[in-house]
């Protein structure tokens, strides 16, 4: 079994080749590990001003050893790398059969969802019956995931089908403290109307083909801060608001608003709290359910009656399929027609479409 030394995750302040011998010797934790014992490593990307100011940086992932006969191993990346690299930083073993390897990763300034890659040790020299490059141990998964504001403000959502997105919205409502079923229903209706349950760019859903083109978007006075997401986050001021709130570079990289977890957070928080207009809670709360005027939370009264109808259908679906999950909203909003001719609250055959 290959020797494998695990080391603490740390930001590299200089290139691996500049390590002093004394500092290199302090990196390895006592003990030798089999790849089958170490399991998955989770590399947590820092979210701080230093990283954003200096751009992509490298982080130490681990060190590898060699074969029992003293030959070193080559370390290879087996999945998406994000610029990962492997460097041998000791020309001679620092311990029997142990060479010091530095495996580093470079990532975008704003990583917003976990990405899995892997490391694999292979033989560096050919031996009888063992050609060079023969895998010497199991692939070691490495999950690169965000921390800080990413871990606390953003949901762990990487996108999915229509039904999975519906479920993610309900879960995010619970996470953000949106507890009334009438409010959840209106958020589902808004997402259905705005984008068909997938994060999009302005003009991609429900508009003329020309409106979905980059040429059209470049002509907008607020370019490049045109609408993106489940509900169209538009204008630089709104991008700045959520850049600050989430600690991500939305202003520098507006396309981050298309990341499913960013889009999900913005949908629930923005509509509920009035980031794009009046707060939905002014019209949908424990004292009233006004699905028509709730449209003012997004875009005036544009298609307000239509979206109100969607909300009523979603409300009936929630109360049929998730009774008790959310607090029951004001009853005047319960006059939903689940399907033509059906009484309010009648069982559904699947979610509204």
61-70, 201-210, 235-244 — most confident range: 235-244
DSSP string, 168-210: HHHHHHHHTT--BHHHHHHHHHHHHHHHSSS-EETTSSSS-GG
What is residue 22's predicted lDDT score, i.e. its pLDDT?
57
Binned at pLDDT 50, 70 and 90, residue 211 comes out as low
Model confidence over 46-76: pLDDT tens digits? 544 333 444 444 555 555 667 777 788 888 8
Binned at pLDDT 50, 70 and 90, residue 152 comes out as very low
Binned at pLDDT 50, 70 and 90, residue 91 comes out as confident
Q: Which domains does the chain have, with CATH numbers?
A: 4-147 (2.60.40.60), 153-334 (1.10.530)
What is residue 322's predicted lDDT score, i.e. its pLDDT?
96
Model confidence over 265-313: pLDDT tens digits? 999 999 999 999 999 999 999 999 999 999 999 989 999 999 999 999 9
On whether the CB atoms of residues 187 and 178 are closer than 8 A, the answer is yes
- Full strand arrangement of the beta sheet holding 115-123: 41-45, 140-146, 115-123, 73-77
Which residue carries 């009035």 as its tokens?
Answer: 274
Q: How far is CA 305 from CA 146, 285, 286, 297, in A?
A: 41, 19, 21, 14
> How many percent of the chain have pLDDT more than 70?
60
What is residue 113's predicted lDDT score, i.e. its pLDDT?
59
- Looking at per-residue pLDDT, the higher value among 309 and 349 belongs to 309
Whether residue 227 is predicted with pLDDT greater than 60 in this model: the reply is: yes
Mean pLDDT score of the chain, rounded to an integer?
Answer: 74
For 36, list phi and psi in degrees, rounded to 5.
Answer: -75, -15
Whether residue 33 is predicted with pLDDT greater than 50 in this model: the reply is: no
- 3 state SS of 30: coil
- Looking at per-residue pLDDT, the higher value among 269 and 30 belongs to 269
The predicted model gives 127-140 an average pLDDT of 82
Which residue carries 């997004």 as its tokens?
Answer: 298
Whether residue 94 is predicted with pLDDT greater than 50 in this model: the reply is: yes
What is residue 297's predicted lDDT score, i.e. its pLDDT?
96
97 burial via Cβ count (<10 Å: 0-12, 13-18, 19+) = middle
Pairing outcome for strands 85-88 and 200-201: unpaired
120-134, 222-236, 319-333 — most confident range: 222-236
User: How large is the C-alpha radius of gyration of the chain?
Assistant: 26
Binned at pLDDT 50, 70 and 90, residue 193 comes out as very high
| Total Cβ atoms within 10 A of residue 301 | 11
Please give the Cα distance from 335 to 291 (Å, whole number).
11
SS (H, E, C) 264-329: HHHHHHHHHHCCCCCCHHHCECCCCECCCHHHHHCCCCCCHHHHHHHHHHHHHHHHHHCCCCCECC
Contacts of residue 321, defined as CB under 8 A and 6 or more positions apart, other chains included, come to: 348, 351
On whether the CB atoms of residues 104 and 16 are closer than 8 A, the answer is yes
DSSP 8-state secondary structure symbol assigned to residue 98: B
Please give the Cα distance from 8 to 6 (Å, whole number).
7
The predicted model gives 15-22 an average pLDDT of 51
């Amino acid at each position: 079994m290959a020797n494998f030394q695990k080391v603490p995750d740390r930001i590299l302040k200089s290139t691996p080749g500049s390590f002093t011998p004394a500092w290199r010797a302090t990196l390895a934790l006592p003990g030798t590990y089999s790849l089958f014992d170490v399991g998955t490593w989770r590399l947590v990307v820092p979210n701080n001003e230093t990283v954003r100011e200096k751009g992509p940086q490298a982080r130490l992932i681990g060190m590898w050893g060699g074969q029992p006969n003293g030959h070193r191993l080559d370390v290879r990346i087996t999945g998406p790398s994000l610029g990962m690299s492997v460097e041998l930083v000791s020309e001679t073993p620092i311990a029997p059969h142990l060479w010091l390897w530095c495996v580093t990763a470079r990532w975008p300034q704003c990583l917003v969802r976990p990405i899995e890659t892997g490391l694999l040790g292979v033989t560096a020299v050919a031996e009888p019956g063992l050609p060079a490059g023969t895998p010497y141990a199991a692939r070691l998964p490495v999950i690169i995931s965000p921390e800080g504001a990413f871990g606390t403000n953003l949901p762990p959502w990487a996108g999915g089908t229509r039904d999975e997105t519906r479920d993610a919205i309900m879960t995010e409502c619970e996470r953000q403290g949106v507890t009334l079923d009438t409010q959840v229903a209106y958020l589902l209706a808004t997402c259905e109307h705005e984008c068909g349950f997938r994060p999009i760019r302005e003009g991609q859903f429900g508009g003329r083909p020309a409106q979905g083109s980059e040429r059209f978007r470049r002509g907008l006075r607020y370019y490049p801060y045109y609408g993106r997401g489940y509900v169209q986050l538009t204008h630089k001021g709104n991008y700045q608001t959520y850049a600050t709130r989430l600690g991500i570079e939305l202003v520098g990289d507006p396309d981050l608003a298309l990341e499913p977890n960013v889009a999900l957070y913005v949908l629930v928080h923005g509509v509920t709290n009035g980031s794009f207009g009046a707060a939905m809670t002014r019209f949908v709360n424990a004292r009233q359910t006004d699905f028509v005027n709730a449209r003012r939370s997004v875009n005036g009264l544009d298609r307000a009656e239509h979206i109100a109808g969607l909300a009523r259908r979603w409300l009936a679906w929630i109360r049929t399929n998730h009774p008790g999950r959310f607090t029951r909203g004001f009853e005047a909003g319960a006059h939903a027609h689940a399907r033509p001719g059906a009484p309010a609250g009648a069982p559904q055959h699947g979610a509204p479409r």
